[in-house]
A and B are shown apart, each in its own frame.
Chain A
């Protein structure tokens, strides 16, 4: 039994390892804030959201599968919450069952019986929801899920499970058959179902020649030996029952984790709607087509923070490998970079994206190389640290991936920084990696502009003649100034005239 609400044919695994670039992505793109908004205080939702975002899908079919499940969820958030609560409670109540899955088969069996009892009750609840609500859901994922629930967990089967758990309490004693092993040792114990007790032979299932003895309750060794015989007889059923209980518990664990993601999406949609921020279902395109088009693309983190409408950007970068972003300070360059990265990752998580329209080729992974604080351990200089990080990325990154650079290699002088950056950019794009590069390195930007390769776009943060920023990016030639003077003046007031370079 698999819920298969996240993947067409696999479990959503909360313990799957995250990619090595995950910490950088979280920090640079503000992933935690998005996940927190999705979670609304629920840890499981937070974890599921984070996993789904960091372990994106790379098949368009898989993405559409999730998009459809999500669309069902957005239409019926209450039912989804109900299913989610049942799954979470199943897992929690099972955890509270007394005992351990270790030691003798007797203790394993007792623990498993307790677990099966709890879990069967929640399977019944799941069945009830499926019976009542299945008709309202139309996605492939939910249709398969509800169908599986009603066919696998029919009343007869659930009743049979309960009957077996009752029988395995051995209220009338435990019957074993046995054989003789090496040196007349007792061996080959098989647990038997006692035949129907006949009213004539009240002694039980035995015929002529049977005899019995009793172990004194003071005979500790004897009682232990008796328990050992019971344990040997029940080892197979103990294992089978424990495996079953674990399977059902695992089913509910996976179900809870999968539904948690959709619960989080519902929460985020509600949250964005309350900030009057729009969203859309993106159109994923097969990897390799180099499609990237967006209208009204914004950073959802900023929208959640500011609590109001934020400026969206349009981007038309089909067939482009390099997007160079230059221009005014505080002009929205970093925000744009985050918006691009998040939209890409949200699309590949099967989520809606923060844009009016969004279409992009899927990529195997997103990487970020953002300017960092000084290394507090003082182990190495800043450029050292930057190069080491880029080298680490280089050992992970693959063709088709997306690399978002924010003021990379600005920690040295312009000439060196530009040269290093130029070589990195050239090598990455030649290796079919989509590079977004925000920079103040004029030599770098100008040099690339002069070559004007056909697969590059040059964007500039817009600054009006009076110095106001629109937070929009427009296509245009890199300028030798980033209008830092504006910032200077904003802080210090009037300054000297333009300084010649």
Chain B
């Protein structure tokens, strides 16, 4: 990467120096269960050209890398930063458009013109980016390192020469004038000889009739625009009128390979990782979802958060202007395993997903959907959700589930997060209790962080590693689609009556409604 004697490797805004890991090729196994596939899809929409998915598929493994990204992300939230990056992205996109356009035309003058536009656009983009970043009050190691690199690059002889030549060529070409006479099918191209402007003459002569008229009779007309072979032939003859200028342009075109700096190109892509996620955050914040940068640790599992929200659910509800339920939790001492029980209405699963999401997103170094959070940086997030029974599966559902759990436990470490949802429900209650107790014991032994959603109350109080959480039926807030999950002893209370009341289906309410309906 070192050119013109500039020292040091080109810095990345995604990874601290020397910490670039291998990127995952495909979507992590937990994505579908945690609905993170929907979240990433929403974040990437409109940014396909940057191929960002693999950054979202590859969480960081250590707290230093996470903090490196958090700092960059915070810098990019500063006033003016978004604008600098947005303009740069727009300019670079235009550069790519011109470069792709070169292949679409045969005419040498058109190819050269497009390259000139690309080169000039690239130079402008680099200068504007440097100027913009330098005006910001940056604090992150990632961006400060990049600015230092960019300053060296923009000052290099190679870059100045590219800029000067592109500027001069563009200026000279814009001063070119020519005449075209179209008579029948014959086109003659020659020098412009200052003939009178006929449009102006006509407009003046007819002005008493056109004054005050705002009608545009050509509102629905558009020129073909794209250069075609007739344009190419005219252009070729224009080039003959200005041989010296077009000769210079041809020599400039000869330098088209490798005119862009690899680190600048990488920045253009990597910074989109932050913009993609920030756009999603802004969208959700508008409907009331709170985000924060979590305090992260690779060592402590004393996880705590307030206002934790299922980001995928928030995304769905935002379309209707609604906000998803949020939950608080704080783990103390040896508590590692959250056992969630309660009614079958989405509160439990939402909580479990949210717990997994928070830890996954913390590992990406981005803000998480919570008001405050202290999170563990896991090596991996595992999920075990109920699957549809498949006909080709001869082992039976229960055995299949057990095999998947065995697989997870084999891969997981004490640094993993495991989310298990309604596991082992396709058997008798005593079987579920037996299997559940054993699995929880294994997870406890492993030392991993886990959420275990179940209908078996007894599992909630197995040891000092488990925390009992219960999804509460609210007194009646129809705006909330999910329930709060709170620290509580699992008491096996019947939820049916409460649900019936919420929907107005108790004996007295239903009787009253039927009476009113009859009177209408």
**A interface residues (Cβ-Cβ under 8 A, vs B):** 1, 101-105, 108, 152, 160-161, 164, 167-168, 172-186, 189-195, 203-217, 221-226, 228-232, 235-244, 246-248
Asked if A215 and B191 make an inter-chain contact with CB atoms under 8 angstroms apart, the answer reads no
- Contacts A186-B227, A209-B240 given: A240-B195 contact, CB under 8 Å? no
Given contacts A160-B205, A231-B221, A246-B215, contact A180 B230 (CB under 8 A): no
A sample of 11 inter-chain contacts (CB < 8 A) reads A1-B208, A105-B221, A177-B192, A184-B113, A186-B234, A190-B199, A192-B197, A210-B188, A210-B191, A215-B185, A242-B217
**CA distance in complex: A72, B193 (Å):** 57
CB-based contact A244/B218 at 8 Å: no
Contact A237 B181 (CB under 8 A): no
B202's partner among A152, A164, A248 (CB-CB below 8 A) is A164
**B437 contacts chain A at the CB level, 8 A cutoff:** no
Given contacts A175-B181, A184-B235, A206-B181, contact A192 B223 (CB under 8 A): no
What 6 A-B pairs are tightest by C-beta distance, nearest first? A184-B113, A173-B183, A210-B190, A206-B190, A244-B209, A192-B195
B5 at interface (Cβ–Cβ under 8 A)?
no
Contact A193 B195 (CB under 8 A): yes
Q: From B169-177, B263-271, B481-489, B503-511, give the one contacting chain A.
A: B169-177
| Also in contact, A205 and B193, with CB within 8 A (given A173-B183, A240-B202) | yes
A168 contacts which chain B residues (CB < 8 A)? 202
A172-B183 in contact given A209-B191, A210-B189, A213-B233 (Cβ < 8 Å): yes
Is B177's CB under 8 angstroms from A179's CB?
yes
Question: How near does chain A come to B42, taking the closest CB pair, in angstroms?
Answer: 34
Docked-complex contact A178 and B205, CB < 8 angstroms: no
Residues of B close to A186: CB separation below 8 A: 227, 231, 234-235
Most buried by A among B98, B112, B229: B229
B334 within 8 A of A: no
Complex interface: chain B residues within 8 A of A195 (CB): 193, 195
Query: From A112, which residue of chain B is reached at the shortest CB distance?
Result: B217
Residues of A near B50 (CB, < 8 A) are none
Given A108-B218, A178-B177, A184-B235, the answer on whether A226 and B193 have CB atoms closer than 8 Å is no
Query: Nearest Cβ distance between residue B244 and chain A, in whole angstroms?
Result: 13
- Say yes or no: A179 contacts B176, CB within 8 Å: yes
- Known: A190-B197, A203-B188, A212-B187. Is A173-B217 also a contact (CB below 8 A)? no
Give the chain A neighbours of B117 by CB distance below 8 A: 182-183
Least CB distance from A109 to B in Å reads: 9
Closest chain A residue, CB of each to CB of B246: A184
Contacts of B201 in A (CB 8 A): 164, 193
Verify if B25 is at the interface (C-beta below 8 Å from A): no
| Inter-chain contact A211/B237, CB cutoff 8 Å | yes
Contact partner of B231 among A185, A235, A242, CB < 8 A?
A185
Q: Which residues of B contact A248 (CB under 8 A)?
A: 209
Note all chain A residues with C-beta closer than 8 A to B181: 173-176, 194, 204-206
Question: When chains A and B are docked, how far (Å) is the Cα of A182 from the Cα of B117?
Answer: 7
Indicate if the CB atoms of B197 and A191 lie closer than 8 Å: yes
Contact B213–A192 (Cβ < 8 Å):
no
Could you tell me the distance between the alpha carbons of A105 and B241 in the complex, rounded to whole angstroms? Answer: 30
A191 touches B110 (CB 8 A): no
A183 touches B217 (CB 8 A): no
A-chain residues with CB within 8 Å of residue B180 when the two chains form the complex? 175-178, 189, 229
Cα A294 to Cα B230 with chains together (Å): 80
> In the complex where A108-B217, A226-B230 touch, is A240 in contact with B210 (Cβ < 8 A)?
yes
> Which of the residues B220, B240, B241 comes within 8 Å of A103, measured between beta carbons?
B220
Q: Which residue from B177, B182, B195, B240 sits with its C-beta under 8 Å from A173?
A: B182
Using A186-B234, A225-B228 as known contacts, say yes or no to A180 and B174 having CB atoms under 8 A apart. Answer: yes
- Nearest Cβ in chain B — how far from A412, in angstroms? 32
Given A104-B221, A244-B209 in contact, is the A192-B202 Cβ separation under 8 Å?
no
Give chain B residues whose Cβ lies under 8 Å from the Cβ of A217.
185
Closest to A248 in B: B209
Dominant secondary structure at the A interface: mixed
A175 to B189, CA, bound (A): 10
| CB pair B188 A236 closer than 8 Å | no
Q: How large is the interface on B (under 10, 10 to 19, 20 to 34, 35 or more residues)?
A: 35 or more
* Bound Cα distance A182, B118 (Å): 10
- Residue on B nearest A105 in the bound complex, by CB: B218
How far is A103 from B219 in the complex, measured between Cα atoms in Å?
9
Q: A204-B188, A214-B187 are in contact. Are A244 and B227 (CB under 8 A)?
A: no
The residues of A that contact B235 with a CB separation of less than 8 Å are: 184, 186
Query: Is A243 within 8 A of B217, CB to CB?
Result: yes
Give Cα distance in the complex from A212 to B234, angstroms.
9
B375 within 8 A of A: no
- Which of A191, A205, A238 has a CB less than 8 Å from the CB of B198? A191
B180 to chain A, nearest CB (A): 5
CB contacts under 8 Å to A, within B118-157, are none
A404–B101 Cα distance when bound, in Å, is 76
Q: Kindly provide the distance from the CB of A164 to the nearest chain B CB, expressed in whole angstroms.
A: 6
List of B residues within 8 angstroms of A185 by Cβ? 110, 113, 227, 231
Residue from the list A101, A226, A231, A237 in contact with B187, Cβ < 8 A: A226
Residue of A172, A189, A190, A248 with most partner-chain B CB within 10 A: A190
Asked if residues B179 and A237 are in contact (CB atoms below 8 Å), the reply is no
Is B188 in contact with A206, judged by CB distance below 8 angstroms?
yes
A209 touches B199 (CB 8 A): no
Q: Does B337 contact A (CB under 8 A)?
A: no
Flag if A180 contacts B187 (CB, 8 Å).
no
Q: Which of B101, B213, B234 has the most CB of A within 10 A?
A: B213
A214 with B185: CB separation less than 8 A: yes
Most central of B117, B193, B217 by chain A CB within 10 Å: B217
* A243 and B213 within 8 A (CB): yes
Q: Give the chain A neighbours of B182 by CB distance below 8 A.
A: 173-174, 176, 226, 229-230
From the candidates A104, A161, A183, A229, name the one contacting B113 in the complex (CB within 8 A).
A183
B434 at the binding interface (Cβ < 8 Å): no
Are A221 and B228 touching (Cβ within 8 A)?
A: yes
> Looking across the interface, which residue of chain A has its beta carbon closest to that of B113?
A184
| Residues on the A chain within 8 Å of B114, using CB | 183-184
Q: Which single residue of chain A is at the shortest CB-CB distance from B221? A: A104
Does B320 reach chain A (CB closer than 8 Å)? Answer: no
> Which residues in A have their C-beta under 8 angstroms from that of B193?
195, 205-207
Question: Would B195 and A205 count as touching, CB distance under 8 A?
Answer: yes
Q: Does B168 sit within 8 A of A, measured CB to CB?
A: no
| Cα separation A182 to B297 with both chains bound (whole Å) | 53
Residue of A nearest to B231 (CB): A186
A292 to B212, CA, bound (A): 43
> B179 touches which one: A101, A206, A214, A223 (CB < 8 A)?
A206
What's the Cα separation between A96 and B190 when bound, in Å? 41
Known: A205-B179, A247-B209. 20 other contacts (CB 8 A): A1-B209, A164-B202, A175-B181, A177-B178, A177-B192, A180-B173, A183-B110, A184-B112, A185-B113, A194-B181, A211-B189, A213-B237, A221-B228, A226-B185, A228-B224, A230-B182, A236-B203, A239-B216, A240-B202, A247-B213
A173 contact set on B, CB distance < 8 A:
181-184, 186
A206: chain B residues at CB < 8 Å are 179, 181, 188, 190-191, 193
> Would you give the shortest CB distance from A249 to chain B, in whole angstroms?
10
Q: How far is the CA of A212 from the CA of B195 in the complex (A)?
A: 19
Of listed B196, B221, B227, residue having the most chain A CB within 10 A: B221
Tell me the smallest distance from the CB of A104 to a CB of chain B, in Å. 6
Task: Report the minimum CB–CB distance from B387 to chain A (whole Å).
Answer: 55
**Distance A209 CA – B178 CA, assembled complex (angstroms):** 11
Set of chain B residues within 8 Å of A172, measured between Cβ atoms: 183
Given B185, B192, B199, B224, which contacts A240 in the complex, CB threshold below 8 Å?
B199
A40 shortest CB reach to chain B, Å: 33
**Which residues of B have CB within 8 Å of A102?**
217, 220-221
Q: What are the residues of chain A within 8 A of B237 when measuring CB–CB?
A: 211, 213
| Cβ of B109 under 8 Å from chain A | yes
